[in-house]
Amino acid sequence: MKQKSPGEHISPAEYKALQSGQKKRRNKFGNTKVKTADGLFDSQAELARWLELKLLKQAGYISDLERQKPFQLSSCKYIADFYYLNLQTGLWVVEDVKGVRTEVYKLKKKMMKAELGIDIVEIKPKALKRARLWHRL
């Protein structure tokens, strides 16, 4: 397609052709959604943690692994990224892969503790990257 000079108009067909060649926009937190056979993940870090948890389940360290587990709070719903039983401790674990801790998330985390007595374990995407460095060797 011929390059237009500044101030020239393009046709709707040219605009559509330009748009089809562009990459999808990332969301405001810089994440890119990832679709796999296991479902849609909000980020590559969330997918990486899912794969790690699946390995832990296969190895017998955890069981009853669930994704997108809803918890009803008094005035809203919290949806955890992961929920599972740690067979080493016998405790249920609620995990969230969190790069950015929004005000809404902070409030829901406090409500989970106050209303249900549940502590949310936050997994940092950078920690996931460091843990996988051996894959590059």
For residue range 68-107, what is the model confidence (pLDDT) as tens digits?
Answer: 999 999 999 999 999 999 999 999 999 999 888 889 999 9
The listed range with the strongest mean pLDDT (48-52, 61-65, 121-125, 129-133) is 61-65
Q: What number does CATH give the domain 34-136?
A: 3.40.1350
Question: Does pLDDT of 136 surpass 50?
Answer: no
Predicted confidence (pLDDT) at residue 11 exceeds the cutoff of 70: no
The stretch 16-44 carries a mean pLDDT of 70
Can you give the residue ranges of every domain in the chain?
34-136
Q: What is the DSSP string of the chain?
A: -PPPPTT----HHHHHHHHHTSPPPP-TTS---EEETTEEESSHHHHHHHHHHHHHHHTTSEEEEEEEEEEE-SSSEEEEEEEEEETTTTEEEEEEE-SS--HHHHHHHHHIIIII--PEEEE-HHHHHHHTGGGG-
Whether the model pTM is above 0.85: no
